[in-house]
Amino acid sequence: MERPQSDTGLIRAIETASPELRDLRDLARKMLLSRDPKEICRLLGDSIPRLLKAPRAAVFLADPASGALPPPSDADAALHPDKEIVDFAFQGGRPPVLPNSAGTLLIVFPLRVQNQRVGVVSVDITGVAEEVLRANLDPVDALLDPGAVALVNVQTMHRSVGESAILSNILDSIPNGIVTIDNDRRITRLNRNAMAMLELAPDCVGSAYQEVFPPKITEALDDLIRETAEMGFAMEKVISHKLAQGSELHFALSMSVLCDENYSPLGMIVVFRDMTATRELDRLRRLDTMKSEFVANVSHELKTPLTSIKAYTEALLDMVEEEQMKQFLKVIDEESDRLLFLINDLLNVSRIQSGKMKMHFELCDPRQAVTEVLNISKVQSAMHQIHLELAEDVPAMMVDLDKMKEVMINLLSNAIKYSPNGGGVWVRMRREEANLRIEVQDEGMGIPRENLPKLFQAFYRVDSSLTSEIPGTGLGLVIVKAIVEHHGGRIWLDSEPGKGTTFFILIPVRREAPQQPAGFAE
């Protein structure tokens, strides 16, 4: 560390003088070399009363920001100078001799460095003869400046150590690796993440980065420095680095110039952004898209032969007379229907997942979506009574009618499927402020509360003895939700086991096709 500021002229003069003055020189030197403010205060607090033949003294340090002394405590009340005495000590030429509010006769010496109030030495001079005081003021004076300078130096040092610790903490909390290098390409600082990513120890500080960084990274850094020097900036570089334990990291390496407060370049800041997780996410996303495309392709390929199986079965059903043969063909026909529904659901879900669901909006009466699906076998049941409550004030609006029919088929067929003992099913449609409100209510088995959060997940089916006999794929509600959301709406439900379930849908009434994804009208 640089030698602290000191009154060297005075010390040199003292060195050539008497043993007492040499003692003063030693004291001043001790204070200036000390790193402990308490020790400096002790040296001042012991030596000054000794020089003045006074019974006791205390050093009070001022608050660095305000210059004020701390308030008196019980222990130091006798020596604590009042504010007026302190102000006078800092203004006046000679140290003031005054009683404080505790009644002690004090002489107060200011400790200052230039205009900064560092503190005061307050000495109890009760019983000290005035001539003794006068005779010893000069040696006391000789200690005040070194004492004050020593205290300021220690405070400054502590502050900068504290600031450096804070800076290290900040740097360590950043998820990127950060390395600073000086103009000679030596490492000046690096955070914990940089050490982990590059497998370096803290003692690499001071080494040239070429000596400690892996060759690939050194090369990238050389390029970045060259580009920054030539163009003033450099593009981020992505490189991979194999760690000793075998795993591979992918970094994005970027660099900026590190300047001092006068904008003179001090070196470079290098940032290592860990891209490993992002890459893994990209890979998973790609896999997911591949999976959706695969499902879409397979479903499409399955649909073609199945459609002809169904067509030929229907043709045969018309031709065949024999009853048993008819029965067999009916089974084939029904099973083909089930397979077709499943394939259509799979196709729809894969389209949703790959973001390829196409919407064909048209201005129409949304009540059509209900009335036109009532003759479909999936929503017909002798055991159930379907009640339509379609309000008169339902407006014409922009909807994809085919997709809305799909919504109604799914909700109605669920209402029927999951009410195996029959009962009523209500379909309601009405205007609610700027939205269309749809409700499908049944009196079926209901859904336990704990199953509700997963209901709109693909392939999720409530697993119970009641549902195990009911055919399904767990895809219907995923499709319904996606269609509703493509209309800018939302869907939710209310259900009580044993009592029934109601699905609610709210879709904004629009006369223009919504921009996707569309917002929700309040």
- Strand ordering across the sheet containing 384-390: 384-390, 423-432, 435-442, 500-508, 490-496
Q: Which of 119, 122, 501, 508 binds ligand ADP (CB under 6 A)?
A: 501
Instruction: Report 404-423 residues binding ligand ADP (CB under 6 A).
Output: 410, 414-415, 418
| Smaller CB separation from ligand ADP, 124 or 406 | 406
Tokens (6 digits) for 212: 């400690």
Of 425, 447, 340, 339, nearest to 381 by C-alpha is: 425
Stretch that binds ligand ADP, among 102-110, 121-129, 185-193, 465-473 (CB under 6 A): 465-473
| Smaller CB separation from ligand ADP, 34 or 414 | 414
- For CA atoms 288, 290, 291, 297, the dihedral sign is positive
| Smaller CB separation from ligand ADP, 118 or 482 | 482
Burial 106-122 (b: 16+ CB within 10 A, else e): bbbbbbbeeeebbbbbb
Residue 189, number of CB atoms within 10 A of its CB: 19
Stretch that binds ligand ADP, among 146-154, 165-173, 289-297, 457-465 (CB under 6 A): 457-465
Q: Which of 474, 504, 520, 521 binds ligand ADP (CB under 6 A)?
A: 474
Q: Which of 344, 368, 371, 473 binds ligand ADP (CB under 6 A)?
A: 473
Cβ atoms of residues 385 and 461 within 8 Å: no
Q: Which of 106, 475, 483, 518 binds ligand ADP (CB under 6 A)?
A: 475
Compute φ and ψ for 497, nearest 5 degrees. Answer: -55, 130
- 331: Cα within 13 Å, side-chain hemisphere: 5
Instruction: Report 319-378 residues binding ligand ADP (CB under 6 A).
Output: none
- Strand ordering across the sheet containing 105-113: 56-61, 116-124, 105-113, 97-99
Binding mask 433-452 for ligand ADP (x = CB under 6 A): ---------x-xxxx-----
| Smaller CB separation from ligand ADP, 57 or 475 | 475
Q: Which of 4, 214, 423, 472 binds ligand ADP (CB under 6 A)?
A: 472
Q: Which of 208, 467, 490, 520 binds ligand ADP (CB under 6 A)?
A: 467
Number of residues this chain uses to bind ligand ADP (CB under 6 A): 21
Rule CB under 6 A: say whether 67 interacts with ligand ADP. Answer: no
Spatial separation of the C-alpha atoms in residues 520 and 421, rounded to whole Å: 37
How buried is 403 (Cβ within 10 angstroms: 0-12 exposed, 13-18 middle, 19+ buried)? Answer: buried
Shortest distance (Å) from residue 163 CB to ligand ADP: 60
Rule CB under 6 A: say whether 502 interacts with ligand ADP. Answer: no
Cβ atoms of residues 370 and 390 within 8 Å: yes
Spatial separation of the C-alpha atoms in residues 431 and 390, rounded to whole Å: 10
Q: Which of 204, 221, 404, 455 binds ligand ADP (CB under 6 A)?
A: 455
| Smaller CB separation from ligand ADP, 117 or 403 | 403
Rule CB under 6 A: say whether 249 interacts with ligand ADP. Answer: no
Alpha helix positions (H), 184-268: 192-198, 209-212, 215-231
CA of 6: how far to CAs of 15, 85, 110, 134, 161, in Å? Answer: 14, 27, 17, 25, 22
| Smaller CB separation from ligand ADP, 228 or 473 | 473
Shortest distance (Å) from residue 339 CB to ligand ADP: 14
Binding site for ligand ADP (CB under 6 A): 410, 414-415, 418, 442, 444-447, 455, 460-462, 467, 472-477, 501
